[in-house]
Structure 1
Amino acid sequence: MPFNKIKKDQTIFAVTDQNVLMPLVVSNVENDVEGLEGWLEVTTKMSDEEVSRHQSSHHQAYFRKLLIEPDGTSSRAGVFDSKEAAIEYAEMSIDSELRHLQSRMEALRAKRAKLRNV
């Protein structure tokens, strides 16, 4: 579902840069965004009362207010209308990070091996 069909009290999902999944509840949808014809301004709140400081900080900084483009695209990466899509995004991000770390480990092992050959 595109975000331009978003409704109040709908649950959406955000993924932080550290791949923490956060369910959010839409608390307001504003159709009249000054200077942005056709855009929506969506206000969210945390769906869980027991959130970590990390989650609360990320929500305040990145996910409390979202702008939705006329085509339904969120202005913020890492926001999804389904839990499954959010999980897939986080898994791909984690896989990418693992590949990067594996490459870094291989480079360090090669560097260490060269030390003995000097």
Structure 2
Amino acid sequence: MKTQATSTLPRAARQALVKLGEDIAIARKKRRISTVSMAERAFVSRGTLYKVEKGDPSVSMGIYATVLFILGLIEGLGNVADRSADTLGLDIDEDRLPKKVQPRRKSTRKRG
């Protein structure tokens, strides 16, 4: 069943989810974790795990996070939108810098 979010998903986002699902499946297999065991450990059905491994966008981010945690890959999720690696955001910040910097004026107000 396609939801509106699924049908309007940009192609690049869809491809990224498919890759994530494939990478999760490979990581599970490398660790010799069966689908039954992974589903039990993640508290999801095998059908939901199948969707995760296919990169289904209808699966909640929390389930993806749980599966990544079980695989020991959760750190990567926390770095997905790391602001220090956001080159576009850093460029925007730089574009907003003033062209000239004026020295601060001394205040004429008396303190005390």
TM over 0.5: no
The structure carrying a bigger strand percent of its residues is 1
Larger radius of gyration: 2
The structure carrying a bigger helix percent of its residues is 2
Shorter-chain TM-score range: 0.3 to 0.5
User: TM-score, normalising length from structure 1?
Assistant: 0.32
